Structure 1
Amino acid sequence: MEGLFFLSQTSHFSADRVNDGKGNEVPIDFKVRATAETLRFLYVSDIHIGDATLWGQLIIPLLNLDLDSRFASDDRFGLADVTATLGLAWHPDRMQTFAFGVDLAMPTGSYEADSFANTGLNHWSVQPTIAYKYFDPQGLDVSLSSRLIFNTENTDTHYTSGTELVIDYAVGWNLGKVKIGATGYYLKQLTDDEGPAVASDGHRGEGLAIGPSLTYSFNPGMQLSASWQHDVIAENRSQGDAVWVNFATKF
């Protein structure tokens, strides 16, 4: 379906613990609250390269971040890191879609090296992504996407985060205008962090989340969905819960 699409993603993440590299809670007072409004503008063109369709998107996140620990507390609100994508999509039949794209995450968010909370990461990242979707309007609905995240150096701290693999998944069943299902992600850091004071394990992170989702389709071009994701695995990461409310429409 060609044209311009819009997706509003409102999310809230909360965690009261941070884990070490073995998934055990680090014994410090810790709390994070992050509320984000992410605006996605997706354009599917009428340009075809062989059997593929050219598409692109712009992702603009606004973030309100509140961090509190025994050592420091801070909060920030503002623009986070904007991402631009260019890709190709294939439709072998009416129920299946394959897509490939390359995301470029730009350091547009606010960052101060001596700040406890920042809305930006202060580095670029290139993220090649592949995705698959199977959609039966009367039954099974499956979405999978896998990306590799290659990070550049944070020039203020001379720290480089390791390469990460992220898999997002959603499985549901369509019941007329309603879809019920489950959603979540898996994250695995593949290479060590590099920079001052890196832990002996390379500060490699790993995470797995899962939770229920509910979607209502007003028409083929407009949807409202809600989901909750609980972190069941968190290594060298905070462990908590995320709630999402998404609204998608076609202009």
Structure 2
Amino acid sequence: MAALGSLCALALAGTPSPAWADAGGVGFWFPGAFGSLAAAPGVPGWAYTTIYVHEQESAGGGKNFVVSGRPVGSVVAGLNARADVVAEAFTYTSATPVLGGQAAFTVVAGPGNVNAGISATLTGPLGNTISGSASDNRTTITDLIYQGTLKWNQGVHNEMVYFSGNILSGTYDPNRLANLSLGFVAYDAGVGYTYLDPKTGHEFSVVGGLTYSLMNPDLQYQNGIDFHVDWGASQFIGKNVHVGLVGYYYQQLTGDSGPGAKLGPFKGQTVGLGPQIGFIFPISKEYQGYLNLKGYRDLEVQNRPQGWTAWLTFAISPATPEPVSAKPIARKY
């Protein structure tokens, strides 16, 4: 199975190892979903975002894993996978303070194409050895992802808490290798911080969270609890352009479980790093646009596929109101 996980970017990885962690090496949280300005409050109102994600991953024939498209409990070896997804996100930011902060809610889903191939099936559910290869190409849609955030601002310091999860799209097919729907429900929650100094142009953001996944009933496989940290650091060049670095750290804290977890409680880990550039530009008096391009390369991987990911984000949101000029006080004597 090749799938793209959570695409809540605002608003879806090696050294030789015995197995992929998570079912098919895919968890709900997609490393790199958060980045620069993650905890900075926005302007109240509706915002629209398009996120294009390209993912290229591979694992050598010496790496074993459990996937869909095979009999339950089958162990296969080797994988090449590519995914291209265009996710559409809608965010509503409330003008009414909640616990002294700014509340927002986002939903995101979209179409995509997945191409996946495995090199061999090693062991069937009854222990029989089976050899061969298989591939699959499919255009389908992702699960519906939802996310709620609450953000606070104190000058250059910004804090955030968030909660997200998925609603199954119904397109998951246990008989296909290529899926964009996960086939299980998951929940994720965490906290974030953004330092943003308009005077110097310095920006740094970091978001950490935990993911809990329910069992995939078709594979009888339950992913372990995952811990993830996404970060971004940038320098504004002028008022509307920023450049910098992005990265992530992903660590599975507990092992996989369930009757389908034939490889045992393997725990995955990955570290990624790459460049970014972002542009803010006016669209009208009421709205502004934001364009961001960032890329990640997996540097250190355990029990997951290895490769690279590119993100292109285009957002339209309410523009920051112009400061009201102070009028001189007319005194009458």
TM-score (norm 2): 0.69
Measure, in 1, the Cα distance between the counterparts of 2:247 and 2:193: 15
The size of the alignment, in residue pairs, is: 245
CA contact under 8 A between 2:256 and 2:264: conserved in structure 1? no
Q: 1:212–1:34: structure 2 CA closer, same or farther, 3 Å change rule?
A: same
Q: 1:152–1:28: structure 2 CA closer, same or farther, 3 Å change rule?
A: closer
Alignment partner for residue 174 of structure 1, among 228, 236, 242? 236
How far is the alpha carbon of 1:28 from its aligned partner?
5.6
How high is the sequence identity, in percent, across the aligned residues?
A: 23
Letter in 2 for 1:16: S
TM-score (norm 1): 0.90
Alignment partner for residue 54 of structure 2, among 12, 24, 40? 12
Please tell me whether residue 203 in structure 1 is matched to residue 266 in structure 2.
yes
Q: Deviations over 1:9-52 (max 9, x none)?
A: 1111112335859xxxxx96531111111222221102223312
Name the counterpart of 2:123: none
Segments of 5+ residues of structure 2 without an aligned counterpart are 1-42, 65-75, 120-132, 319-333
Aligned residue for 1:46, secondary structure, equals coil
How far is the alpha carbon of 1:109 from its aligned partner?
5.2
Name the counterpart of 1:238: 305
Q: Which has the higher contact order (CA 8 A, sep 6+)?
A: 2
**1:80-229 equivalent positions in 2, closer than 5 A:** 80-93=142-155, 95-108=156-169, 110-137=171-198, 138-176=200-238, 177-198=240-261, 202-219=265-282, 221-229=288-296
- Tell me the C-alpha RMSD between the 2 structures: 2.1
Segments of 5+ residues of structure 1 without an aligned counterpart are 22-26
- Structure 1 runs (4+) deviating above 2 angstroms are 15-21, 27-30, 196-201
Aligned residue for 1:221, secondary structure, equals strand
Please tell me whether residue 30 in structure 1 is matched to residue 92 in structure 2.
no
Q: Deviations over 1:113-146 (max 9, x none)?
A: 2221111111111111212112223421112111
Alignment partner for residue 250 of structure 1, among 317, 320, 323? 317
Q: Deviations over 1:59-93 (max 9, x none)?
A: 21322110022221001211111111223211122
Q: 1:86–1:178: structure 2 CA closer, same or farther, 3 Å change rule?
A: closer
Measure, in 1, the Cα distance between the counterparts of 2:83 and 2:211: 21
How far is the alpha carbon of 1:53 from its aligned partner?
2.0
Aligned residue for 1:31, secondary structure, equals strand
CA contact under 8 A between 2:220 and 2:261: conserved in structure 1? no
CA contact under 8 A between 2:140 and 2:179: conserved in structure 1? no
Measure, in 2, the Cα distance between the counterparts of 1:136 and 1:109: 45
CA contact under 8 A between 1:20 and 1:235: conserved in structure 2? no
Point out the structure with the larger strand share: 1
Structure (1 or 2) with the larger CA radius of gyration: 2
How far is the alpha carbon of 1:181 from its aligned partner?
0.4
CA contact under 8 A between 2:55 and 2:308: conserved in structure 1? yes
